Chain A
Amino acid sequence: MELNGAEILVQSLKQENVDIVFGYPGGAVLNIYDAIYAQNYVNHILVRHEQAASHAADGYARTSGKPGVVLVTSGPGLTNAVTGIATAFMDSIPMVVFSGQVATQFIGNDAFQEVDSVGITRPCVKHNFLVKDVKDLAETIKRAFHIATTGRPGPVLIDLPKDVTVATTEFKYPQKVDIRSYNPTIKGHSGQIKRALKMIKQSKRPIVYSGGGAVIDNASKELREFVSKLNLPITQTLMGLGAFPASGEQFVGMLGMHGTYESNMAMHDSDLIIAIGARFDDRITGKLDKFAPYAKVVHIDIDPSSIAKNIPVDIPIVGSVTDVLTEFLGLMAKNDYSPNPTDLENWWNQINQWRAVDSLAYKKDDSIIKPQYVIEMLHKVTEGKAIVTSDVGQHQMWAAQYYHFDQPRQWINSGGLGTMGFGLPAAMGAKLASPESDVACITGEGSIQMMLQELSTMLQYQTPVKVVNLNNRYLGMVRQWQEFFFENRYSMSYMDALPDFVKLAESYGHVGMQIEKPADVEGALIEAFKMKDRTVFMDFLTDQKENVFPMIASGAAHNEMLLAGRDEMKSTHDDGMSLV
C-alpha cells in the first residue's frame, strides 16, 4: 500500500501499539496532524507547552513501563521539548520523540523555524535520526522503538523534514530489527555471579543498594525474594524507591544526601555493597574518598559504563537486573549462600541501634503546618496506594522520606536532572497510564508555576489529579542551603506576589482549597480524594523555615551526617562550598 510519510508515521505507531501521543502542532508537522485527524486509533493529547509533552510522556512511561511518545514541530517546538527529553535521558526512561523539520532542500539555510534538532539533542538522547528519504521511515521508527526500550532505556529522537511527510512509498512495517552495532548484554556472566554469591556468603556486614534500574527492569519480585531469603539490609536510591517495599523488614530507608541515618551509617561501615541497577552518583556517594571505606563492591548493571565509573568495583556483572537476580535465586535454591548467622545478627543489632536514632523525627506543631505531616497524612488518606509524582526541592525529599512507597512505579520524580516543572505534566501522564489509580502531585509554589498551564490540558482530557502544594513562600531548597552555607543571605529565594491558587484552580475549572491549620490537613485530603473525577489543587501554607533532615553536608562523610534539632548545620569542610 502506498502511503505518505505522515500516514506511515501514524500506521507505525499503531504497529508499535502506541495509543497515546503527547504533542503540539506547527507548520512542519501539519501533514502529520492531518494524518492523525484521519484516524481514531492513536489518541493525541494537546498539551499547552512542549516541555509538558515530554514530561507527560515521561510520566506515562514511568507508570506503564511502555515508551512515551512525543510529537512536536520544528524549531521552538523541539527546543521547548528538550528539557523533558534531557529529564528522561538522565533517568533512563524509554521515549520516542518525533520533531518536525524544515523541508530537506532548506536544511542548513537558516530557514523559518529551523534548528539543528539532531545536534541540539545529541548529548541528551540515547540516539537520534534525521530521516531524509521516506523509504527509510518505517525502518527508522522500528529502530527507534527498539533502541528506546531495550538495554538501558532512554529517549530517541526522529527528526522529520516536512517533504518526507508528504512523499509516498510502499508501507511495510518491519517485523524484526537487526542493528549490527547494538546488542545489549542481558545475561550476566555466570562465573561472576557465582563469585558474587560467594562473596556475600563470606561477608560480615553486607548491604544491598538498589536503584532506578530495579524499577525500570521490573525486578521487584526477584529483588524482594533475594533480600528476604538472605535477610540482608537494603537501602534504595531516590530513583529506586518502591522496588523493595518501604514497609519491608529489611528496608533501612533511602540513602544519600537526605537519606536515613541507618542507611548511610550502614553504607559507611559495610564490608560488602551489592549494588543493583544503581550508579553511585554524587548525591549518593558524597565525597568519593570518604565513601564506604571498608566495602568490597558487587555491581550489577545493564550499562557497562555505569560500572566502575565513580568507584572501583570488585565484581562487575553486566546484564539485566532481573536476569542476574533470577540466576542468583537459582543458585541459592541449590546452595546456602547466607552469611555467617552470628555476624549477620551482630550487623542487624548495630543497624537497629542506628534505627533507634529515629532520624526522620520532626517537631510536631499545632499551629503551623509541618510539610512532613502533610505527606504522612497523604499516605494515610490514600492508604499508601496513590501514584505520587513530585517536582524538585524540599517537598520532593519529604515525599521520598515520608510517603513510604511499597510498590515500584508508584513514585515518579526527576532524580537525575532535577527538573522543576516535571511534577504536574508527569502526573497527567501517570493518570492517563493508570486511570484507576489515585494520582497525587507533590509540589512547591516555585515548581508548580513552571508548568501551571497544564491545568488546562488536565481539564480538557479529564485527568483528575490531586495537587499537594507545600507552599512555604520560599524556593525552599535554595533557602535551606543559603541558611546553612551562606549565613542566611536569602538571595532571590523568596517569592512575593504569589497567585491566589484557589481562584487560579477555579478559573481553570478545577477545585481549589487553601489549608492553613494542621487540624484541617487530614480533612482536606479526605475531601479532595473523595472527588474522584475532579482535579483538586490543595494549597497548604506550611512552615516557612522547615529544613530537610537528615543531611550529609557537602564534603562530609556518610558517618558525619547531621540530624534535625540535634546538630548545628554547617558545611563541615571548607571544600564543601565548591562541591555540590
Chain B
Amino acid sequence: MKATLTILLENEAGALSRVAGLFSARGYNIESLCVAPTEDPTMSRMTLVTSGGEQVIEQIVKQLNKLIDVVKLQELTDGLHVERELMLVKVITDESLRGELLRLAQIFRGNIVDVASDCYTIEITGSSDKLTAFLEALPQGSILEVARSGEVGLARGSRSLKL
C-alpha cells in the first residue's frame, strides 16, 4: 500500500534527520521526500511517500507524531487530495526526432525549458504516474538524464493542516 503523508515540521537544524533516521532505524521505506519552508518561516512542510501494510503505515504515523519536531501530520491517502510532482528530462534530439518530442511534450502538457543543438530539456508536472508514463513514451535511448522532485500534495477542499 502506498501512503502519502504531509507533515508540518519545526524549521530547525536536525529536524529532517530525525525523520530520515526514524525511517532507517525502523526499516521503513521512503519512496520520495520533499521538504521546504512554508508561509510561516518557523515551519517546513514535508511530503513523504512511503509504502507498507496497513499496520506498518499506522506505526509510521504514530512514530512520526512522537517526534518532538513534528508539529502536525496528515495522511493524504486517507481522503481526497491532489498530488503533483515536477520533473525535468534532458533528451537527445536530432532533426528527425524534434517533431515527435514537441508533440509528446504537448500531449503531456510539458514545456521545453532549455534548447541546445543536440538536446532539449523538458519540464513536466503531474501525478507521479503521468511522469512515468511520459518517460516510457519517449523514444528509446533518447533520455540523457532525469530529475524528479518527489510528490507534494494537499487535501482537497478546506481540509487543511493548520495550527
Which A residues fall within an 8 A CB radius of B? 118-119, 122-123, 126-127, 130, 147, 179-182, 303-305, 308-309
Which residues in A have their C-beta under 8 angstroms from that of B18? Answer: 122
Closest residue of B by beta carbon distance from A122: B21
Q: Measured between C-beta atoms, what is the minimum distance from A109 to chain B in Å?
A: 17
Cβ of B17 and Cβ of A122 under 8 Å apart?
A: yes
Q: Is the CB of B71 within 8 A of A308?
A: no
State the total of A-B contacts with C-beta under 8 angstroms. Answer: 35
Do the beta carbons of A304 and B68 come within 8 Å of each other? no
Tell yes or no: B62 within 8 A of A by CB: yes
Quote the shortest CB–CB distance from A311 to chain B (angstroms).
Answer: 10
Contact pick for B55, options A123, A126, A179, A308, CB 8 Å:
A308
Of residues 34 through 55 on chain B, the ones whose CB sits less than 8 Å from some CB of chain A are 55
Nearest 9 CB-CB pairings of A with B: A305-B62, A181-B71, A127-B68, A304-B62, A123-B25, A182-B68, A305-B63, A122-B21, A305-B66
Question: Roughly how many angstroms separate A149 CA and B62 CA in the complex, as a whole number?
Answer: 20
Complex partner residue of A123 from B14, B21, B58, B69, CB under 8 angstroms? B21
Distance in angstroms from B27 CB to nearest chain A CB is 13
Measured CA separation A182–B68 after assembly (Å): 6
Beyond A180-B163, A308-B58, whether A118 also contacts B71 by CB under 8 A is: no
Q: How far, in whole Å, are A308 and B62 apart by their CA atoms in the complex?
A: 10
Q: Is B142 an interface position by the 8 A CB rule? A: no
A303 near B17 (CB under 8 angstroms)?
no
The answer to whether A180 and B13 touch across the interface, beta carbons within 8 angstroms, is no
In whole angstroms, what is the CA distance A182 to B70 when docked? 8
A180 lies within 8 A of B71 (CB) = yes
For the complex, give the distance between the alpha carbons of A180 and B70 in Å.
Answer: 9
Asked if B59 lies at the interface with its beta carbon under 8 angstroms from chain A, I say: yes
Whether the Cβ atoms of A304 and B65 lie closer than 8 Å is: yes
Q: Looking at the assembled complex, report how far the CB atom of B88 sits from the nearest CB atom of chain A, in whole angstroms.
A: 32
Q: How far is the CB of B76 from chain A (nearest CB, A)?
A: 19
* Set A130, A182, A309: member contacting B59, Cβ < 8 A: A309
CA distance A122 to B70 in the complex (A): 15
Q: Which residues of A contact B66 (CB under 8 A)?
A: 303-305
9 extra interface residue pairs, beta carbon distance < 8 Å, beyond A119-B17, A180-B71: A122-B17, A122-B18, A122-B21, A130-B14, A181-B10, A181-B69, A181-B70, A304-B65, A308-B58
A309 neighbours in B (Cβ, 8 Å): 59
Q: Which chain B positions have C-beta within 8 A of A181?
A: 10, 68-72
Q: Using CB atoms, name the residue of chain A closest to B65.
A: A304
A124 (CB) vs chain B CBs: closest residue: B25
Partner-A contacts on B (CB < 8 A): 10, 13-14, 17-18, 21, 25, 55, 58-59, 62-63, 65-66, 68-72, 163
A31 to B136, CA, bound (A): 63
Chain A residue numbers with a CB within 8 Å of B70 are: 181
- Which residues of A lie under 8 Å from residue B59 when comparing CB positions? 305, 309
CA distance A346 to B13 in the complex (A): 60
Q: In the assembled complex, which residues on chain A have CB atoms less than 8 Å from the CB atom of B10?
A: 181
Q: In the assembled complex, which residues on chain A have CB atoms less than 8 Å from the CB atom of B62?
A: 304-305
Query: How long is the Cα–Cα vector from A428 to B65 in the complex, in angstroms?
Result: 36
Closest to A309 in B: B59
Shortest distance between the CB of A140 and any CB in chain B (Å): 12
| Nearest chain B CB to A366 CB, angstrom units | 52
Q: How far is the CA of A303 from the CA of B69 in the complex (A)?
A: 17
Across-interface contacts of A123 in B (CB, < 8 A): 21, 25
Contacts of A304 in B (CB 8 A): 62, 65-66
Instruction: Report the bound CA distance from A258 to B136 in whole Å.
Output: 58
Which residues of B sit under 8 angstroms from A308, Cβ to Cβ? Answer: 55, 58
For B13, the chain A residues whose CB sits under 8 A away are 130
Interface centre among A119, A182, A305, A308 (most CB of B within 10 A): A305
Nearest B residue to A127, CB-CB: B68
| Residues of B with C-beta under 8 A to A118 | 14
Contacts of B55 in A (CB 8 A): 308
Residues of chain A lying within 8 A (CB to CB) of residue B58: 308
Q: How far is the CB of B139 from chain A (nearest CB, A)?
A: 46
Closest to B60 in A: A305
Q: Which residues from chain B contact A127 at a C-beta distance below 8 Å?
A: 68
- Using Cβ atoms and an 8 Å threshold, which residues of chain B touch A182? 68
Question: Which chain A residue shows the least CB distance to B163?
Answer: A180
Q: Of B68, B72, B163, which contacts A179 at CB under 8 A?
A: B68
Q: How far is B5's CA from A391's CA once the two chains are assembled, in angstroms?
A: 43
CA distance A147 to B68 in the complex (A): 9
Q: How far is the CB of A385 from chain B (nearest CB, A)?
A: 38
The docked-state distance in angstroms from the alpha carbon of A290 to that of B72 is: 37
- Which B residue's beta carbon lies closest to that of A126? B68
**Bound Cα distance A384, B17 (Å):** 47
**Closest B residue by C-beta to A132:** B13
Cα–Cα distance between A118 and B66 once the two chains are bound (Å): 18
Taken together as a complex, chains A and B put the C-alpha atoms of A305 and B68 apart, in Å, by: 14
A308 to B53, alpha carbons, bound, how many Å? 13
B44 to chain A, nearest CB (A): 12
Bound-complex Cα distance A181 to B163 (A): 10
Bound-complex Cα distance A305 to B65 (A)? 9
A417 to chain B, nearest CB (A): 15
Determine the residue in chain A with the shortest Cβ distance to B14: A118
Distance of A422 from chain B, by nearest CB (Å)? 23
Closest to A182 in B: B68
CA distance A179 to B68 in the complex (A): 9
CB nearest to A306 among chain B residues: B62
9 A-B contacts (beta carbon < 8 Å): A118-B14, A147-B68, A179-B68, A181-B68, A181-B70, A304-B65, A305-B59, A305-B66, A308-B58
Query: How distant is the Cα of A228 from the Cα of B157 in the complex, in angstroms?
Result: 52
Instruction: Note all chain B residues with C-beta closer than 8 A to A119.
Output: 17
Query: Once the chains are docked, how many angstroms separate the CA of A181 from the CA of B68?
Result: 6
Q: Bound complex: CA of A118 vs CA of B12, how far in Å? A: 13
CA A126 to CA B14, docked complex, whole Å: 14
- Give, as a whole number of angstroms, the nearest-CB distance from B112 to chain A: 42
CB distance from B81 to the nearest CB of A (A): 23
Min Cβ gap B69→A in Å is 6
Q: Considering the complex, give the chain A residue whose CB is closest to the CB of B55.
A: A308
B65 contacts across to A, CB distance below 8 A: 304-305
Of the candidates B13, B18, B66, the one having the most CB atoms from chain A within 10 angstroms of its own CB is: B66
In the assembled complex, the Cα of A135 lies from the Cα of B62 at a distance in Å of 33
> Chain A contacts of B17 at CB under 8 A?
119, 122
Given the complex of chains A and B, what is the CA–CA distance between A130 and B15 in angstroms? 12
A126 to B67, CA, bound (A): 8
B66 → chain A, closest Cβ, in Å?
6
Tell me the bound Cα distance from A147 to B69 in angstroms. 12
Set of chain A residues within 8 Å of B25, measured between Cβ atoms: 123
CA distance A309 to B70 in the complex (A): 20
Complex CA gap A162/B69 in Å reads: 25
Bound Cα distance from A180 to B10, whole angstroms? 10
A123 to B62, alpha carbons, bound, how many Å? 16
